[in-house]
Structure 1
Amino acid sequence: MLFLAEMEVRLPPDMPAEHADELKAREREYSQAAQRDGRWPHLWRVAGRYANVSVLDVGSIDELHELLSGLPLFPYLDIRVTPLARHPNAIDRGESDV
């Protein structure tokens, strides 16, 4: 199942820089592991904002929730999720569902 996830990061302005840096390092490790195992095939920065647009490929909505809620920055994320389906006019480029 494919999902589009739009995430905006909202760290508190008074968060100590050391804590923010530690969270971001853990976030990098977590998200890169999900990219390597195929659950996070696309991760794109939104220019000009502390935000990203991602395509996630998971087996269920519960797995999606587990993946997103496991993000170290989860308490500071504003996340909007949209289920995706292949468009009938899309050219087949040999990709599974992405």
Structure 2
Amino acid sequence: MLFHVRMNVNLPPEMPAAEATALKTKEKEIAQGLQSSGKWRHLWRIAGQYANISIFDVESVDELHTAISTLPLFPYMQIEVMPLCRHPSSVRGDDS
């Protein structure tokens, strides 16, 4: 199942810089692991915002929730999820 996921990150301004850096480092490690596994298919930064648009390819909504909730920045995110399905007018026969 494909999902379009928007993640807006809102770290507290009072968070110590070292803590924020450690969270971001761990976040990158987990995100890259999910990308390498094929679960996190695409990741785009939204220019001018601490936010991203991503495409996840997982077996279920539960698997998506588990993947997202393991991210260290999860407690500081506002997340919007939209399930996707192939459009009948698409010229592509696959998800490339």
Same fold, judged at TM 0.5 (above): yes
Give the ranges of 4+ consecutive aligned residues of structure 1 lying more than 6 Å apart after TM superposition: none
The aligned runs of 1:1-98 (5 Å cut-off) are 1-92=1-92, 95=94, 97=95
Matched to 2:22, the amino acid is: E
Q: CA deviation at 1:5?
A: 0.4
TM norm structure 1: 0.94
CA distance in 2, matches of 1:91, 1:22: 43
Matched to 2:47, the amino acid is: A
Q: CA deviation at 1:32?
A: 0.2
CA distance in 1, matches of 2:91, 2:74: 35
Q: Deviations over 1:52-97 (max 9, x none)?
A: 00000000111000000000100000000000001111121x64x3
Matched to 1:60, the amino acid is: S
Q: Structure 1: 5+ residue runs without aligned partners?
A: none
- Percent of paired sites with the same residue: 55
TM norm structure 2: 0.96
2:54 counterpart SS class:
strand
CA distance in 2, matches of 1:3, 1:62: 12
Q: Structure 2: 5+ residue runs without aligned partners?
A: none
CA distance in 2, matches of 1:45, 1:89: 28
